Amino acid sequence: MSEVRAFQIEQEVTIAAPPARVFDALTKEVSAWWGLPHMYAEDARDIILEPRVGGRFYEDWGNGEGALYAIVTIARRPERLRMSGSMGMRGAVAGVIEITLTPKGAGTVVRLSHRVVGEVTEETESGYREGWRGLFAERLKAFVEKGVRSGLKR
């Protein structure tokens, strides 16, 4: 039987764009910067985040198939998203992902908080910590600031 444990990841990155632009990249252009190895299926058609209460964050495989990452529980454009879900972790896992966007000069401070409890290992925590850093501090930042598309290859 797996051990039940908890972890919390707190990260922040400053992106040289206003909060509305960063929020749109987070919600309307996810596939441009989110991709392998942070997916279930290599042949996913799209990654979708519906920025409304009850909206889904999921991989679309076509024909009604896919993988659900989380459900949106708070949406306030352009300053805050909160989602609940396993975010791809196996086993019995509950997680809350909160993303806040705060203006700072001409840019935006993006803060990520990911709290998890369930059948998770230290390796899981380490993988998610590095995964979030890569997704936000590298991929999202490069997409918003320079137009670099490092996400889903279609």
Residue 1's pLDDT is: 56
The mean per-residue pLDDT over the stretch 16-37 comes to: 97
Tens digit of pLDDT for each residue in 121-135? 999 999 999 999 999
Measuring CA to CA, how many Å separate 54 from each of 20, 71, 94, 117?
Answer: 21, 6, 17, 21
Q: What is the pLDDT of residue 57?
A: 98
Contact 4, 117 (CB under 8 A): yes
pLDDT digit string, tens, across residues 134-145 = 999 999 999 999
**Looking at the domain that runs over 5-146, which CATH code has it been given?**
3.30.530.20
pLDDT tens profile 36-74 = 999 999 999 999 999 999 999 999 999 999 999 999 999
pTM, full prediction? 0.94
Q: How far is CA 148 from CA 13, 106, 135, 151, in A?
A: 17, 20, 13, 9
> What is the band of 154 on the pLDDT scale with cuts at 50, 70, 90?
low
